[in-house]
């Protein structure tokens, strides 16, 4: 048995086939599996923050309800709708690539990215209103520590002031906002990464790199995008809808 060190014969397959894989199917399987394993790490990453939310919400239910009611439910609901639309367009982008409809897939990718940026824009508006109401927790903004104005009885109409329900304290409202910014901030970061990822996919699509035979990167990016949507599907009710029935 000769111990050769002659170079392994190249399987001249698809130009996108990497040298250490035997065939495109193995490469696709590995790539998909890799993204799923990565998403599991993301579940655990967000999970830590969800755990903190759960514990403090159980400890300070009134404060959390009061703080949640101060969030803009209209913007939150619109953002939820925006992300669900973007999941649809992402799925359709993958679908079009599977069928070789390059122009359609490019359009869907662009729409998905636009919806993602819309989400981020709306989030920015929300963050700004928190800033003006001095609801950014602790000393995150050095010149503007957490110091919301508390509404007195009779000031129900004022949306810039914090309405405390019985049992709520400003300190524990700050705890809510700490968790709110941690969760939505990390989520927004993942959205930004997602948009970046899709821009790379868009570029490759425009260059004609994908086809019915080779579109694994589009599928895999889709998995990431849907996952970020799922996180928001949980964030919305947990952060925005807590205490609406107490309003």
Partner 1 sequence: MSEHIVSRKVYFAIFGVLMVGTAATVVVAFIDLGGQFNTVVALTIAVIKATLVVLYFMHVRYSSRLTWVIVGSGLFWLGIMFALTLSDYWTRGWLPPR
Partner 2 sequence: MGTFTTPAASRRNYINAEYGIKSWLLTKDHKRIALLYLGSISFFFFIGSLYAIAIRLELLTPQADLVQSSTYNKMFTQHGIIMVFFFLIPSIPATLGNFLVPMMIGAKDLAFPRLNLLSWYIYMAGGLITIYALLAGGVDTGWTFYTPYSTTFSNSYVVATGLGIFINGFSSILTGLNFIVTIHTMRAPGMTWFRLPLFIWAHYATSLVMVLGTPVLAITVLLLAFERLAHIGIFDPALGGDPVLFQHLFWFYSHPAVYIMVLPSMGVVSELIANFSRKNIFGYKFVAFSSLAIAVFGFLVWGHHLFVSSQSVYAGMIFSFLSFAVAIPSAIKVFNWTATLYKSSISYDTPMLYALGFIGLFTVGGMTGLFLASLAIDVHVSDTYFVVAHFHFIMVGGALFGYLGGLHYWWPKISGRMYPEGWGRFSALVVFVGFNLTFLPQFVLGYMGMPRRYHVYPPEFQVLHVLSTAGASILGVGLLIPLFYLIWSMRYGRIAEANPWHLPGLEWRTPSPPPTENFEHTPVVTWEAYEFAPIGEMKVIGKFRPQVEKV
Identified binder of partner 1 from the candidate list 13, 22, 84, 189, rule CB under 8 A: 84
Binding to partner 2 by CB under 8 A, coded x per residue (else -) over 1-30, reads: xxxxxxxx----------xxxx---x--xx
Backbone angles phi, psi at 162, to 5 degrees: -85, 125
Please give the full DSSP string across 99-160, using - where no structure is assigned. TT-HHHHHHHHHHHHHHHHHHHHHHHHHHHHHHHTT-S-TTSSTTS-S-PPBPPTT-TT-SS
Q: Which of 17, 24, 62, 91 binds partner 1 (CB under 8 A)?
A: 91
Give the residue, chosen from 14, 139, 144, 244, that forms a contact with partner 2 under the rule CB under 8 A: 139
Q: How far is CA 62 from the centre of its chain?
A: 28
Contact 184, 123 (CB under 8 A): yes
3-class state of residue 162 by DSSP? strand
**207: contact with partner 2 by CB under 8 A:** no
46 binds partner 2 (CB under 8 A): yes
Q: Token pair of 235, please?
A: 């964030």
Place of tokens 């709306």: 122
In the three-class reduction of DSSP (H, G, I as helix; E, B as strand; rest coil), residue 14 is classed as: coil
Residues interacting with partner 2, by CB under 8 A?
1-8, 19-22, 26, 29-30, 33-34, 37-38, 40-42, 44-49, 51-52, 55-56, 60, 137-140, 171-172, 174-175, 178-179, 182, 186
Residues interacting with partner 1, by CB under 8 A?
25, 29, 32-33, 36-37, 39-40, 43-44, 47-48, 50-51, 54-55, 58, 73, 77, 80-81, 84-85, 87-88, 90-92, 95, 98-99, 219, 222-223, 226-227, 229-230, 233-234, 236-238, 241-242, 244-247
């Amino acid at each position: 048995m000769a111990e050769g060190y002659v170079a392994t014969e190249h399987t001249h397959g698809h130009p996108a086939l990497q040298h250490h894989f035997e065939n495109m199917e193995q490469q696709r399987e590995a790539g998909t599996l890799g993204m799923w394993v990565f998403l599991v790490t993301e579940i655990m990453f967000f999970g830590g923050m969800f755990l903190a939310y759960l514990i403090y919400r159980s400890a300070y239910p009134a404060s959390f309800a009061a703080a949640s009611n101060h969030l803009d439910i209209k913007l939150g609901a619109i953002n939820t709708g925006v992300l669900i639309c973007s999941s649809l367009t992402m799925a359709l982008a993958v679908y079009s690539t599977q069928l070789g409809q390059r122009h359609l897939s490019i359009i869907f990718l662009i729409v998905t990215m636009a919806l993602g940026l819309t989400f981020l824009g709306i989030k920015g508006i929300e963050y700004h209103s928190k800033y003006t109401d001095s609801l950014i927790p602790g000393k995150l903004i050095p010149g503007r520590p957490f110091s919301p104005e508390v509404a007195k009885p009779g000031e129900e109409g004022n949306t810039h002031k914090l309405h405390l329900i019985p049992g709520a304290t400003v300190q524990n409202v700050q705890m809510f906002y700490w968790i709110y910014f941690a969760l939505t901030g990390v989520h927004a970061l993942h959205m930004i990464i997602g948009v970046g990822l899709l821009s790379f996919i868009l570029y490759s699509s425009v260059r004609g790199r994908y086809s019915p035979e080779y579109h694994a990167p589009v599928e895999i990016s889709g998995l990431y995008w849907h996952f970020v949507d799922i996180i928001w599907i949980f964030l919305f009710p947990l952060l925005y809808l807590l205490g609406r029935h107490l309003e």
